[in-house]
Amino acid sequence: MKIGLRIPGAAGQMPFSEFCAWCKNNGFEAIDIGQVTNEVVETATGAGLTIGTADLPGTRDLISLNSAKVKAGTEAAKSAISAASENGISIMFCVFVPDDTSLGRAKNYEIWKENFPAVAEFAAEKGVSIAVEGWPGGGPEYPALGCTPEMWRAMFADCPNGFGLNYDPSHLVRIGIDHERALDEFAHKVLHVHAKDTVFDQEALYLHGNLGPVFRNPRGFGEDWWRYTIPGDGIVDWLKVVQRLEDEDFDGIVSVELEDYRYWKDWPAQADGLRRSQSFLSNIVR
């Protein structure tokens, strides 16, 4: 396995080559990118970094009743998949937030089932796999597809090729799902891992439960009673996670996704959070 990272917000304000050099000098071996371009790939690989994932566009339009949007989403996704394949990138990252969230998850799943498997099959033919992250979407609807074991079972039955998981236990923890049991069931489908953690605030739960505070705004990256943290600062047992991945012969990338208000104010703060994450993971990932 390699330790990588997803590019945090402030890093976009510096030249990409400078950020890649910083990553390499601070123990990171891989980087997740957005759009695939020759320049981005050459810069990252030239700095000695492996490309972990590239972002897959078009997924919102693929989950739409509007045929023009579906066509546009399909074309955007296939174009990006082709670019990834041509540049030696084998995993594309996505979330499934529908075009019309008011339809509900069951109806939107039927739309997904009609449109997405053909894109995944195209990806498989190109030597690329699509990894869905289980982010549930924004509240109060939490409309995203592919964020629970219930949906993963259905998705992998309906779309067996070119499709797997971006395992991020922080999302499972915060919606009340046993992240270790989920990994046990779906370890064979894990393509990529996001290293992010979750912590619960018992005082906040006492004051306002899971309704959120009335008289102040929640701290960043959470709803006050829960929030995301750097790996090691939450409740996930990362040694167990890595050991289970090893049992499955996973030899991919564990990629730090920095979403922690304590390490977000500016680039020095974000750099600190990334370094702390790398230091923690380096004792576990091998």
The domain locations on the chain are: 2-282
For residue 19, the model assigns a pLDDT of: 98
Cα–Cα distance, 187 to 165 (Å, whole number): 9
Helix (H, G, I), strand (E, B) or coil at 228: strand
Q: What does the pLDDT look like over 112-153, one tens digit per residue?
A: 999 999 999 999 999 999 999 999 999 889 999 999 999 999
The predicted model scores a pTM of 0.97
CATH of 2-282, one of 3.20.20.70, 3.90.480.20, 3.20.20.150, 3.30.200.20: 3.20.20.150
For residue 139, the model assigns a pLDDT of: 86
Residue of 97, 179, 199, 200 whose CA lies nearest to 142: 97
Q: What does the pLDDT look like over 188-230, one tens digit per residue?
A: 999 999 999 999 999 999 999 999 999 999 999 999 999 999 9
Residues 58, 74: contact at Cβ < 8 Å? yes
